[in-house]
Amino acid sequence: MLDGRVALCAGAGRGVGAEVAKLMAAHGAKVVINDPGTSGSGEGSDGAPAQEIVDQIEAAGGDAMANYGSVAKFDDCLAMVHQARETFGGLHIVFNAAGILRDKMFHNMFPEDWQAVIDVHLTGHFNISRRPRAFSAMSGNAITVQPSSGSWRWHASSPWRMPRRVSPSTSSARRRTPG
Ligand SMILES: NC(=O)c1ccc[n+]([C@@H]2O[C@H](COP(=O)([O-])OP(=O)(O)OC[C@H]3O[C@@H](n4cnc5c(N)ncnc54)[C@H](O)[C@@H]3O)[C@@H](O)[C@H]2O)c1
């Protein structure tokens, strides 16, 4: 199904990204496996996760190459695109599953936590899409896919969440209260 296609999968050393990357490779795509191998909160780096997925794809007869850059850095994303084109001769699909988690409530979140999440989950999507979208505007043949990044958690801890439902017993108690 994907024979002759080249995919760039970001955050693909683990989790959703790794599984999607392996599936694409199993269907014939050549895949750049990007992952800096951070901790869950986005700290540190480790080349092992990306390399392990490359090894698994190659062991299954597919083509893959590791990249250890960060989607939070525009130049790293340009390098990923360059690597895909230089190594595999093109770029047709971008799948971005890079993600970190600073699991805090709004009132105890520090600016550096906020910035780290914004850098990976918002700026990262711009960074990794910008160059491929420019190609696709010219050639019309690139697809970019990005999961909604931890939005369920953001709703749970966001100050903008919906007000808690008032239970029937509480509301009827309120109705009975004069004034
Ligand atoms: N797992 C779920 O149930 C779920 C649900 C909804 C949304 N999501 C979102 O999907 C994405 C992937 O989730 P997951 O469960 O596979 O997470 P995961 O933690 O298993 O994998 C995320 C990968 O992203 C990598 N990463 C971190 N910072 C990066 C950066 N700057 N550049 C490139 N890669 C980076 C990490 O090293 C890690 O290997 C996340 O954005 C997450 O918020 C996940």
Domain spans in the chain, listed from the N-terminal domain onward? 6-176
Distance CA(24)–CA(46), nearest Å, equals: 24
Instruction: Encode pLDDT of 101-151 as tens digits.
Output: 998 888 999 999 999 999 999 999 999 998 877 776 656 556 666 665 544
Asked if residue 168 has pLDDT above 70, the reply is no
Q: Which pLDDT belongs to residue 142?
A: 60
* Predicted confidence (pLDDT) per residue in 32-54, tens digit: 999 999 999 999 999 999 999 99
> Would the pLDDT of 161 be above 90?
no
Alpha carbon separation from 96 to 41, 54, 163, 168 (Å, rounded): 17, 17, 32, 43
pLDDT for residue 71: 97
Q: What are phi and psi of 7, to 5 degrees?
A: -120, 140
- Cα–Cα distance for residue pair 33/85, rounded to 1 Å: 14
CA angle 37-20-140, nearest 5°? Answer: 105
* 3-state secondary structure at position 104: coil
Whether residue 20 has its Cβ less than 6 Å from ligand 1: no
Of 141 and 161, which is predicted with more confidence?
A: 141
- What is the pLDDT at residue 134? 73
| pLDDT value of residue 166 | 36
User: Is residue 36 lining ligand 1, measured as CB closer than 6 Å?
Assistant: yes
28 ligand 1 Cβ < 6 A: no
- The pLDDT score that the predictor gives to residue 138 is 58
- pLDDT > 90: what percent of the chain? 69
Residue 108 is given by DSSP the state G
Task: Give yes or no for residue 53 CB within 6 A of ligand 1.
Answer: no
Q: 82: helix, coil or strand?
A: helix
Does the pLDDT value for residue 157 go beyond 60?
Answer: no
pLDDT of residue 106: 87
Residue nearest atom 23 in ligand 1 by C-alpha distance: 11
pLDDT band at 159 (very low <50, low <70, confident <90, very high): very low
Whole-Å CA distances, 177 to 74, 127, 169, 170, 172: 59, 56, 12, 11, 9
Residue of the CA atom closest to atom 40 of ligand 1: 99
CB 13 within 8 A of CB 99: no
Task: Verify whether ligand 1 is closer than 6 Å to residue 99 (CB atom).
Answer: yes
Map tokens 């690597």 to a residue. 83
Q: 6-176 sits in which CATH class?
A: alpha beta
